[in-house]
Amino acid sequence: MTAKLNSLPARRELDHRHANGIDVTLSWSPGGDRLYVTVLDDAGDGFELAVDAHEAVDVFDHPYAYAAHRESRLLDVAA
């Protein structure tokens, strides 16, 4: 499934890092009380993982490892 980045519900950024053209963001959606790790590269490709609180920091640190073993939502950042 592909989602438009601008159609995502309002979230609060909890942590963010950028390295080698890749942005990784840990965010919280107060409406659904859910945590997400979002990965976007400079080419506009990305994915998002819904995470539980007990694993949020580890998924934030290693998003590609977790994406390989669970369903992720592909993001379409082109407007």
Q: Are 46 and 40 in contact (CB under 8 A)?
A: yes
pTM of the model: 0.79
pLDDT at 4 over 90: no
> Can you list the alpha helix ranges (DSSP code H) found in the chain?
56-61, 63-67
Domain ranges of the chain: 2-76
Type of residue numbered 52: D
Q: Which residue has the tokens 């992720």?
A: 72
Tokens standing for 35? Answer: 């945590």
**pLDDT tens by residue, 63-79:** 999 988 887 666 665 44
- The values of phi and psi at residue 45, to 5°, are -90, 145
The DSSP symbol for 35 reads E
